[in-house]
Amino acid sequence: MRTSIGIAFAAIVMLATAYSYSPRETAASQVTVNDASRMQVNAIVRTKAGLIAGGELGKIFLSHDDGRSWLPAHMATQRQALITQMVFAGNGTGIAVGHEGWILRSTDDGQSWQEQHFDDKDGEPLMSAARLPSGRWIAVGAFGRMLQSDDDGKTWRSETLPGVDDKHLNNIVGSADGSDWLILGERGLLLESHDGGQQWNLIPAFYNGSFYGAARVSGVGGVDGKRWVIYGMRGHVYFRNDGDSNWTASRLPVMVSVFGAAHLPDGRLLLSGEGGLVMVSNDGESFQTLQIGGRAAVITMEPMPDGSLLLGSTFGLKRLPAPVANIAGITASAATTPNNGVKK
């Protein structure tokens, strides 16, 4: 029972229920071992080896030509469990997490993967992973589950977080210097750490829906210092400057669920979500639409050297043509529909 609930939860987090159970344009049987373009893609990461993409049926692919062609990565064990996220640390270790508590590890920039953890029974989905400055890896997922590894992802053990109980944990995100961290989850759950993930404090809930992720903004759009931007269901996006305790609702052009974030080379923030949505902001306070339309939910994005944007979605890969990186500066007036959230 818990497994079936966990699978439904992961689908809600990454795709939204309507997309998860709607008819697919590409059946699973059509996804070949050398084709990443037509499968559900939940993660795109650039490494020294090229682009790495993962998602549907536990597939991981490698591209040496910026996503124009794909080859399957070598996988010692294939569980056909949905991959939800891939992360590569500064030391070269890569971790992929997915359904059934699946954890894969790579030491060659994503060209090959070895299984390090899998739950044969009652395995809840893992949704996100990160390597802390201490060298410890943590992975989080359904029903408040948290796993830790102190040997660079080779072995994993269960841990608990204060105030989480059985709430689903959707993402863990850290600042560039590794000092500040957020864990985001359902029912407005937010945990923060200011000491590299050693201690976690519960942020009082100011929203009762799910948060799916977070990103940092600094040095663009007149932002002095640094700030967090968090995003989730039905267009609920908020920002908070470092040192502040209050979160303020961002202004969005459309109110749909937001699933992914990325940065352009100049530091501007991209968010993506339901209905093919891709939007951009200088400061995290207001956003301008770059793309919207269609049935696909855009889950992950990767800027390309030619200025285009590679999108991973429920219906596969798509390229948003250049010059994405040359978009004119965004002002507050560019966002036409204010978020109904309030500053707390």
pLDDT tens column, 228-251: 999 999 999 999 999 899 999 999
Q: Is residue 123 part of a domain?
A: yes
Residues paired with 260 in a beta bridge: 272
Query: What CATH number did the domain enclosing 108 receive?
Result: 2.130.10.10
Give 54-66 as a DSSP string.
EEGGG-EEEESST
Are the CB atoms for 84 and 99 separated by under 8 Å? yes
Q: Is residue 50 part of a domain?
A: yes
Summarize the confidence of residues 50-55 as an average pLDDT. 97
- The pLDDT score that the predictor gives to residue 175 is 95
Residue 170: C-alpha distances to residues 95, 126, 184, 195, 265 (Å): 16, 8, 6, 21, 26
Q: Is residue 7 part of a domain?
A: yes
Of 56-70, 120-134, 219-233, the one with minimum mean pLDDT is 219-233
Q: Is residue 266 part of a domain?
A: no
Residue 69: C-alpha distances to residues 53, 112, 296 (Å): 12, 18, 21
Give the integer Cα–Cα distance in Å for 182 and 161: 13
Order of strands across the sheet that contains 316-320? 298-303, 309-313, 316-320
pLDDT range class, residue 47, cuts 50, 70, 90: very high
- The pLDDT score that the predictor gives to residue 332 is 31
Give the integer Cα–Cα distance in Å for 52 and 69: 11
Give the integer Cα–Cα distance in Å for 189 and 170: 10
Average pLDDT, the chain: 86
- The pLDDT score that the predictor gives to residue 123 is 82
Q: Is the pLDDT of residue 334 over 50?
A: no
β-strands 288-291, 309-313 pairing: unpaired
Domain that holds residue 14: 2-22+34-205
pLDDT range class, residue 218, cuts 50, 70, 90: confident
Per-residue b/e over 221-236, b at no fewer than 16 CB within 10 Å?
A: bebeebbbbbbbbebb
Residue 48 DSSP class? T
Q: For CA atoms 21, 172, 245, 287, give the dihedral sign.
A: negative
Summarize the confidence of residues 283-292 as an average pLDDT. 96
For 328, residues 6+ apart whose C-beta sits below 8 A from its C-beta are none
Q: Is residue 326 part of a domain?
A: no
Q: Burial of 86 by CB count in 10 Å (0-12 exposed, 13-18 middle, 19+ buried)? A: buried
Residue, of 164 and 35, whose pLDDT is higher: 164
Q: Is the pLDDT of residue 197 over 60?
A: yes
Residue, of 15 and 216, whose pLDDT is higher: 216
Residue 2 DSSP class? H
Q: Is residue 185 part of a domain?
A: yes
- The pLDDT score that the predictor gives to residue 116 is 98
Cis peptide before 265 (omega within 30 of 0): no
- The pLDDT score that the predictor gives to residue 12 is 41
The 10s digit of each residue's pLDDT in 290-317 is 999 999 999 999 999 999 999 999 999 9
Number of domains making up the chain: 1
Percent of the chain with pLDDT over 90: 77
Q: Is residue 328 part of a domain?
A: no
Percent of the chain with pLDDT over 70: 83
β-strands 201-202, 190-193 pairing: antiparallel
Q: Is residue 323 part of a domain?
A: no
